[in-house]
Amino acid sequence: MIDTGVGSTEPARSGGGGLAATGAETQRVVLFDEDDPLVLDSGELLAPVEVAYETYGTLDDDASNAVFVCHALTGDAHAAGEGGWWNTLVGPGKPVDTDHFFVVCPNLLGGCRGTTGPSSVDPRTGRPYGLRFPQFTVRDLVRVHRALAASLGVERLAAAVGGSLGGMQVLQWALDHPEALERAVVIAAPARLSAQNIAFSAVARASILQDEHFHGGDYYDREERPEVGLAVARMLAHITYVSETSLERKFGRRRHGDAFEVERYLHHQGRSFLRRFDANSYLYLTRVMESFDAFADGPPGRLAARFLLVSFDTDWRFPTRAVREVADVLAAVGADVRFREIASPHGHDSFLLPVRVYHETVRAFLGA
């Protein structure tokens, strides 16, 4: 993803050691507690589960205009408004039109921007979970989203919209609860990660796990954090988010003193990321992406939701063929599916950028 930063001020560290969610509009709600814990895919129980989220627009009287925005690996609840990571797509008069829709964007389970995750305090020990946080899946992310929707009085969504890991959540939601969604917008997301996708994540994780300051994930009360490992992980991931062409156009072989500009740029990307992300959350959420396998149990049954699937022609992380495969499987079981490959030079990051045809496609689909 592109490094948008979040808000205009540096986020403060929270007491639990995570990075605090920013934005005066960010709300928090406890959705699961000791009496009613979250039952994970693995069978493990988790409580409490607090979720940070933002909403934009107004829920209508029959609660029929709610749209969930599902964020990607390193996103947060601040999707729209100044500094919002999807502010080009979500807002008044924008393709996800908050004059019309009531938009909800939660920070993901396992994240570090206000929702319960590895940096949260484990009530059993009084210390941050670290690597004792349970493993979870995209299905579990959707479980928490559904609980949040229910808490807001929403039974059925007008739409769920997401790119990359966000698109995986939307797809899982539509597969598991097809009656709960009117429209599903799945952008630059595959049915499952490829061996190459996993390989890049494996290197990123190796970099974090082997950082001298990682201490088995228990670094929250220490002076130093595994910043070096996390920065290298981010530098690597960033390369996969942009197209070869866009890197070439932006930097080519230009130098700044002895160093190539592309090298300086990547180091900057790595450093900026440290201010807003937690290494343990990075480990957990990359694993969540890898465990995702939408059609592992065979083709889905009858699906009521209407689907829009979008790919970008220069996205080499989750290329057109991977997104088209999702469309083909859905179409084969009779689902109402539109698939669009969008021309954009920006690679995987295109889903975060105001690419005109892409935005028009989303607008038309949500307005149809």
Q: Which of residues 153 and 299 has its CB atom nearest to a copy of itself in the complex?
A: 299
Angle (nearest 5°) at CA 294 between 330 and 208: 145
Is there a catalytic annotation at residue 272?
no
Among the listed residues 97, 344, 348, 350, the single catalytic one is 348
Clarify whether 344 is annotated catalytic: no
Q: How far is the CB of 347 from a copy of itself (least distance, A)?
A: 10
Closest approach of Cβ 50 to a copy of itself, in Å? Answer: 28
Q: How crowded is residue 118: how many other Cβ atoms within 10 Å of its Cβ?
A: 28
> 119, 120, 164, 243: which is the annotated catalytic residue?
164
Residue 11 near residue 275, CB atoms below 8 Å: yes
Q: In degrees rounded to 5, what are phi and psi of residue 103?
A: -100, 135
Nearer to a copy of itself, 168 or 362 (CB): 168
Beta strands in the chain (DSSP E): 27-32, 38-39, 45-46, 49-56, 66-70, 90-91, 96-97, 102-106, 121-122, 127-128, 157-163, 181-187, 255-256, 259-260, 306-312, 336-342
Nearer to a copy of itself (CB atom), residue 154 or residue 168: 168
Least separation in angstroms between CB 149 and a copy of itself: 31
**CB of 35: closest distance to a copy of itself in angstroms?**
31
Q: Which is nearer to a copy of itself, 121 or 285 (CB)?
A: 285
How crowded is residue 310: how many other Cβ atoms within 10 Å of its Cβ? 28
Catalytic residue among 315, 344, 346, 349: 315
Residue type, 69: V
CA distance 8 to 278: 19
Both tokens assigned to 151: 């808490």
Is there a catalytic annotation at residue 315?
Answer: yes
Binding site for a copy of itself (CB under 8 A): 192-196, 198-200, 202-203, 205-207, 210, 212, 228, 231-232, 235-236, 239, 244, 247-248, 250-253, 260, 262-263, 266-267, 270, 290, 293
- List the catalytic residues: 164, 315, 348
